[in-house]
Structure 1
Amino acid sequence: MGIDITWARDELAQFLKLTELYRPADPPGVMTVSSHLSNRGSPAEIVASAHVVEQILDRVLPRWRTEVPGDRNKTVNRWCQHREAAQRADAAMQRDAEVRARLGDDAPQLSAGFMHPWAWDGAKALWRSGHFREAVTAAARKVNAETQNKVGRRDLSETKLFQSVFSQNSPKAGEPRLRLMVDDGGDTFRSVHRGAMAFAEGCYAGIRNPNSHEDGLPELPEHEALEQLAAFSVLARWVESAAVETA
């Protein structure tokens, strides 16, 4: 499901209003000389709003914590990083389609936040700090672990695990299979499971292993890492949707 743009923008606007700085009025009959500024909202209101706003920012600007400057004017307003990120996110949601169309690239956009949770949840902490290669590796481990959990096997992992679970052979004791469709003896069943096995092998042999075992590799560009993460998201959806067949 996509973001509810209207709701998200309203939440950002409310947060920006609460964190706006102003100079409190002097008490009646008293004149003070002070440069002290206050937020319009109470600390409790701002913290409650920030809880929601941070989740919106994580979806719209996944790397806002590292890409948006966080040390400017914190002595004046501790929420300065959140405010700038909120303003950027609001502009992104409001004008993203327009900007892409005007720049000549209105192709569909791929967002990690919409990928399968096994892939994104495993990767997001490292992703947000710019460790893209390690993030993809973490996603691969998460998909492997969830597959092991689904079929109840810890004796196999990664390539050998997927060769077993997507095998077209009948299940044996201690060797359950994952079925993406009912085995009707037809070519489609054989093609689907042969393809799933080959795809999983490619993910681990061609993506996970080089990322994990090659020292000194340069950091992956973010768009390449996103493509690799998408591959594990596809595999995760297949595994989650598959039926477990036991002997």
Structure 2
Amino acid sequence: MSIDIPWVRDQLAEFLSLTELYRPADPPGVTMVGFTHRMNRGSDEAIIASAHVVEQILDRVLPQWRTEVPADRNKSVNRWCQHREAAQRADAALVCDAEVRQHLGDDAPQVSAGAMHSWAWEGARALWSSGHFREAVTAAARKVNAETQNKVGRRNLSEVKLFQQIFSVEPPKPGQPRLRLMDDDGSETYRSVHRGAMAFAEGCYAGIRNPNSHEDGQPELPEHEALEQLAAFSVLARWVEKAELATA
């Protein structure tokens, strides 16, 4: 699902309006001299409610905003300074990015982590937001594995062996259910679909998850490369979720 840009921009504008600082009027008959305290225009309750929505927007539009936007700049003046700057950046990105890509000759479709399958993105979200991309992909792999175990009711197998069994074209046996991506019509397509799913899952865990987990001292993954890896687990998660459970 694509971002509803008008709605998102309205939410950002509302937050920026609520957190704007202003100097309260002097009490009647009193003229304040020198420094006077400035206040946010909105109430604490309204700002907190708005921030709850805005943080989710920022996680989608600027996933690394918590680390890239300075957190201590003018915080003594306004506790929402980091959120305000991130909201302003996000608004600019929403307005300008499509136009910039078009003029620079790079208007290809963009992949959004937030639009990926929830098993992949929810597993990765917290680590992704802090820039730990390699660990985020590993966390997504664990989440997809765990949800697959839950669906088929098997905790005694995991990762490659789990997917080899559940996508096998052999009939289900007691205690060994299968996942079916299409009805068994005896065709080569039926066999190739499940053989492909099995091989794809093996590639995800043997080629992505294991190297990310077991090689210490590796440099951090570039974000675009991690996004590609995360997308692989999103594809696998969708196949597992939509598959029919076949039991003996």
Q: Which segments of 5 or more consecutive residues in structure 1 lack a partner in the other structure?
A: none
Q: Which residue of 2 aligns with 1:172?
A: 173
Q: CA deviation at 1:37?
A: 1.1
Q: Which residue of 2 aligns with 1:5?
A: 5
* Aligned amino acid, residue 240 of structure 2: V
Give the alignment's TM-score, normalised by structure 2.
Answer: 0.97
Q: Which residue of 1 aligns with 2:190?
A: 189
1:69, 1:104 → 2: CA distance? 32
2:123, 2:52 → 1: CA distance? 22
* Aligned amino acid, residue 31 of structure 1: T
Identity value in percent:
81
Q: Describe the superposition over 1:73-107 as per-residue Cα deviations: whole angstroms up to 9, x where unpaired.
A: 00111110010011111111122210111122111
Residues 90-169 of structure 1 correspond to what in structure 2 (within 5 A)? 90-169=91-170
1:214, 1:54 → 2: CA distance? 33
Q: Which moved more, 1:138-147 or 1:214-223?
A: 214-223
Q: Which segments of 5 or more consecutive residues in structure 2 lack a partner in the other structure?
A: none
Q: Which residue of 2 aligns with 1:67?
A: 68
The runs of 4+ residues in structure 1 deviating greater than 4 Å are: none
Report how many residues are paired.
247
1:243, 1:122 → 2: CA distance? 23
1:44, 1:199 → 2: CA distance? 48
Q: CA deviation at 1:184?
A: 0.3
Give the alignment's TM-score, normalised by structure 1.
Answer: 0.98
| 1:223 counterpart SS class | helix
1:217, 1:14 → 2: CA distance? 42
* Aligned amino acid, residue 214 of structure 1: E
* Aligned amino acid, residue 91 of structure 2: D
* Aligned amino acid, residue 191 of structure 2: R
1:115, 1:134 → 2: CA distance? 17
Q: Describe the superposition over 1:86-130 as per-residue Cα deviations: whole angstroms up to 9, x where unpaired.
A: 111111112221011112211111111000010011111111111
1:206, 1:170 → 2: CA distance? 28
1:213, 1:52 → 2: CA distance? 37
Q: CA deviation at 1:35?
A: 3.1
Q: Which residue of 2 aligns with 1:22?
A: 22
Q: CA deviation at 1:242?
A: 0.2
